[in-house]
Structure 1
Amino acid sequence: MAMLEVKNLGISFGGLRAVDDFNLSIEQGQLYGLIGPNGAGKTTIFNMLTGVYKPTDGKIFLDGEDITGKSTIEINKEGIARTFQNIRLFSDLSVLDNVKAGLHNQKEYEYSTLTGILRLPRYHQAEKAMNEKAMELLKVFELDGEADYKASNLPYGKQRKLEIARALATNPKLLLLDEPAAGMNPNETKELMETIHFVRDNFHMTILLIEHDMKLVSGICEKLTVLNFGQVLACGETSDVLRNPEVVKAYLGE
């Protein structure tokens, strides 16, 4: 059974059909790419997968469970986390507190508002556990030395790493990366490729990413789906898809 199964997904905004009859199947542990020209509907699909938009039609299954139309919070608890093309960190909070924010969806760290106000023992237990878990994640990404820095003071490449660390703090099954290499220089992109491989292999993560950097896509994605004008143009093994004449014409512009 596929980790993510998307069947005949579609959405309309007024009279505009933004995505039509979209199908996707991703196996556990796969590193899968979703590419296409600007405006093809890629981020719209991410928004449907994460509950930001409710599909007009079609179904979304995560580990066999129908999550179609559920709220963003519900879908996150079911096991989907994402990053964004434009980094959305809590810029005025510390690096540590950004990761801790991702832990609050898990029952083991929950406490009531009253418990927090009164600083009851459960509050201290949960905060201690969250600090320890957050530091573990930061160490993985070599950000533990900057735990007390404001997130906005990190270099761009490290902000990307922090956003991935925060997403992983929600304990997802499926990680969606929205143009993670956007704005990066070649050295940062190379490091990002290593980071994504590390996350997949060490966290046993299934990853779906949107990306325009073809060097990154060809270097890490095992399979690709190409979207054009809201419809699937091609899908399959990465090398085969990137050689597809229709893909070359519509997307690569060669």
Structure 2
Amino acid sequence: MSLLKAEGLGIQFGGLKAVDEFNFEMDKDQLYGLIGPNGAGKTTVFNLLTGVYKPTSGQILFDGKSLLKMTPTQITQLGIARTFQNIRLFKKMSVIDNVKVGLHHSQNYSLLSSILHLPSYFKGEEAMQEMAMSLLRVFDLEKYADVKAGNLPYGKQRKLEIARALATAPKLLLLDEPAAGMNPIETEELMETIKIVREKFSIAILLIEHDMKLVMGICEKIAVLNFGTVLAFGTPDEIKNNPDVVAAYLGNEE
């Protein structure tokens, strides 16, 4: 059974079909890319998958369950996490507290325990602290644990956002242009980070990205969107040699 399956997915805003007949399928542990020109509908697809938008047509199945009637919170709890093109950290909070925000779903102490500071509260907080530090070590961020997130260099903020997403224990991680705004060195580090995440956490990753070196370097398969529809789907070699893709998109890339 596929981990994620979209069938005939579409959404219309007024008279504009932002996504139309989007068909897509991926299994556990796979790393796929979603590319296309600006305005092709890539982020709209992410918003559909995470419940931010409700489709006007089609179906989304995740781990065999329909997502159509679920809220974004329910979808997160089911196992889909995402990052955003524009970093959305709690910048005045510490690095470790940003990660702990994603871990609160895993704690089972009651509100009363929290208010009264009962032993179960302290036990839960200690467990979260340990889990958060463990995640920070994966990204070599543990030495910044008490630094305000907004004071981190840009590339490290990107890493922190991925760490926070992983704190929700997802089965599928959606990365929305993680290399946006990065210099070449930061992009190389990001590529290695994504490889480490995949190997260490054994999760599926769906990536939106304009940096073709990154996409072609780490993705197993790539779907190309153009005007809201899938223009092509295949391996990196198949995509970069597809004349329709070259004409619509890659031919405009440096």
The equivalent residue for 2:204 is 206
Return the letter of the residue paired with 1:198: I
Tell me the equivalent position of 2:240. Answer: 242
Note the 1:76-225 alignment, pairs <5 A. 76-106=76-106, 109-225=107-223
Amino acid at match of 2:35: I
8 Å CA contact retained: 1:181, 1:213: yes
Q: Provide the secondary structure at the position in 1 that maps to 2:105.
A: coil
State the distance in 1 between where 2:218 and 2:188 align.
Answer: 11
TM-score between the two structures when normalised by the length of structure 2: 0.97
User: Is residue 2:25 matched to residue 1:35?
Assistant: no
Separation in structure 2 between the aligned mates of residue 68 and residue 236 of structure 1, nearest angstrom = 27
Instruction: Say whether the 8 Å CA contact 1:55–1:69 is kept in structure 2.
Output: no
The residue type equivalent to 2:103 in the other structure is L
The yes-or-no answer on 1:59 pairing with 2:54 is no
Counterpart residue type for residue 215 of structure 1: K
2:70 corresponds in structure 1 to 70
Say whether the 8 Å CA contact 1:6–1:25 is kept in structure 2. yes
Letter matched to residue 187 of structure 2: T
TM-score when normalising by structure 1 = 0.97
Partner of 1:15: 15
**What CA distance in whole angstroms lies between the structure 2 residues aligned with 1:222 and 1:66?**
26
Is contact 1:83-1:177 (8 Å) kept? yes
Letter in 2 for 1:250: A
How far is 1:25 from its partner? 0.7
Q: Please report how far the alpha carbon of residue 253 of structure 1 lies from its aligned counterpart in structure 2 after TM superposition.
A: 2.9
AA aligned to 1:117 is I
- The structure 1 segments of at least 4 consecutive aligned residues displaced by more than 2 Å after TM superposition are 110-115
Which ranges in structure 1 are unaligned for 5 or more consecutive residues?
A: none
Provide structure 2 residue ranges, at least 5 long, that are not aligned to the other structure.
Answer: none
Shift of 1:110: 3.1
Q: What letter matches 1:4 in structure 2?
A: L
Shift of residue 159, structure 1, vs aligned partner: 0.5
Give the drift of 1:61: 1.0
Contact 1:2/1:27 (CA < 8 Å) preserved in 2? yes
Amino acid corresponding to residue 132 of structure 2 in structure 1: A
Q: Distance in 1 between matches of 2:175 and 2:2?
A: 19
User: What percentage of aligned pairs have identical amino acids?
Assistant: 65
Question: How big is the shift at 1:105?
Answer: 2.0
Q: Secondary structure at the residue paired with 1:7?
A: strand
Q: Number of residues paired by the alignment?
A: 252
Q: Offset of 1:69 from its aligned partner?
A: 3.2
Other-structure match for 2:250: 252
Give the secondary-structure state (helix, strand or coil) at the position aligned to 1:104: helix
Q: Deviations over 1:141-169 (max 9, x none)?
A: 11111100000011111101100000000
Is 22-31 or 171-180 further displaced after alignment?
Answer: 22-31
Q: Does the Cα contact within 8 Å between 1:10 and 1:58 map onto a contact in 2?
A: yes
For residue 84 of structure 1, give the secondary structure of its aligned residue in structure 2: coil
Give deviations 1:111-140, integer Å, cap 9, x for gaps. Answer: 333322221222111111100100000011
| Superposition deviation, residue 244 in structure 1 | 0.7
